[in-house]
Amino acid sequence: MIRTLALSALVATLAITSVSATEDMSKWLRPSEIPQPKNNKLTPERIELGKLLYFDTRLSSSGEVSCATCHHPKRGWTDEKPTAKAVGVDGRVGPRNSPVVLNTAYQNRQFWDGRARTLEQQALGPIEADVEMNMPLDVLLPKLRKIKGYVELFEKAYPGEGITEKTLAKAIASFERTVVSTESPFDKYAKGDKYAISDKAKEGFELFAGKAGCINCHDGFNFTDGSFHNIGLHDGELQGKELGRYLVKMRAAWYGVMKTPTLRDVAKSFPYFHDGSVKTLEEATAICAGGGRFEHNVKNKSLSIVDRHLTKEEIDKVVAFMHTLTGPDMDLTIPTKFPQ
């Protein structure tokens, strides 16, 4: 009887292993083509112009802040210095943690609350925001038109269109579309290299997709469902920016929800969550897999956020897996000289 049970258990284990080994892993790999709108196709001229604008501090009122200040390539495309909330001109602190720019080309909503549909719509928001770059467009556009180098570059990128609100947004969005994840150890594993990640990370992946329930929100190659959730970080009535997508339109289902961030390069982009309140992946995992920071008196908490009863060892395995999602920095030369 004991031998029969042991044999049954072995067969069951082999069956699970077989399913895992033959599973189609292609959904975890980034598509080779970058989505781009018909009216702003990627060209070398547009990408180069956008890159210069992205790193140029002259786009801020203080002349000291650029897009890269809050979305830097060396920090997983978030704040150059690890801060809980974005810091703009004159040390002004924003209401939310800086979201990462990485793989935003594949997202259908931008900002934590998803108020912008496209990168073009998103690009100009931080420039004008008083707590970020604080540069009104009616001041910035004439300023750029006086810089001969930019006039020439805009003409090459957008012939006959000039330096306008639209071409400025298009240029920055073009560069942002090229900010995509590189091949990580997990990508190599997904392609068939079984030695690319550790056994601990493999077990973490199984937990991630199974018991931990992470896959409910962090699915696909970009490890996000592209949707919005209230993960129970705050209890009671919410105020101000904590209302999340509810500020875009007052729908009950949008109360306190924020966009699911990508987990690509997540080990670089701490602190975590929209409020920047968590410094480590271990704590972030414990909160999400433990039913949120608050279990009671949380209005509209996501149904995916429940206590998964993970042990510390299991949390460590999930974190080990998430570290395998970090690839090398993309091949990018950060400009040090700008058009004059």
8 Å CB contact between 231 and 292? yes
Q: Residue 132 catalytic?
A: yes
Residue listed under structure tokens 């040090």: 336
Tokens of residue 257, six digits: 């929800």
Residue 255's alpha-carbon distances to 52, 114, 145, 261, 294, in angstroms, are: 38, 13, 43, 18, 16
**Secondary structure (H, E, C), 216-278:** HCCCCCCCCCCCEECCCCCCCCCCHHHHEHHHCCCCHHHCCEEECCCCCCHHHCCCECCCCCE
Per annotation, catalytic residue among 64, 80, 128, 132:
132
How far apart CA 187 and CA 209 sit, in angstroms, is: 16
| Residue 55 in tokens | 């790193």
**What are the tokens at 327?**
């690839």
Which residues share a beta bridge with 116?
110
Q: Which of 258, 262, 238 is nearest to 248 (CA)?
A: 258
Tell me the C-alpha distance between 225 and 317, whole Å: 22
Q: How many beta carbons lie within 10 A of that of residue 81, not counting itself?
A: 10
Q: Are 34 and 46 in contact, with CB atoms under 8 Å apart?
A: no
Closest CA to 97 of 274, 264, 230, 277: 274
Closest Cα to residue 60, out of 117, 116, 144, 122? 144
Helices 312-323 and 199-209, packing angle to 10 deg: 100
Q: Which residues are catalytic?
A: 132
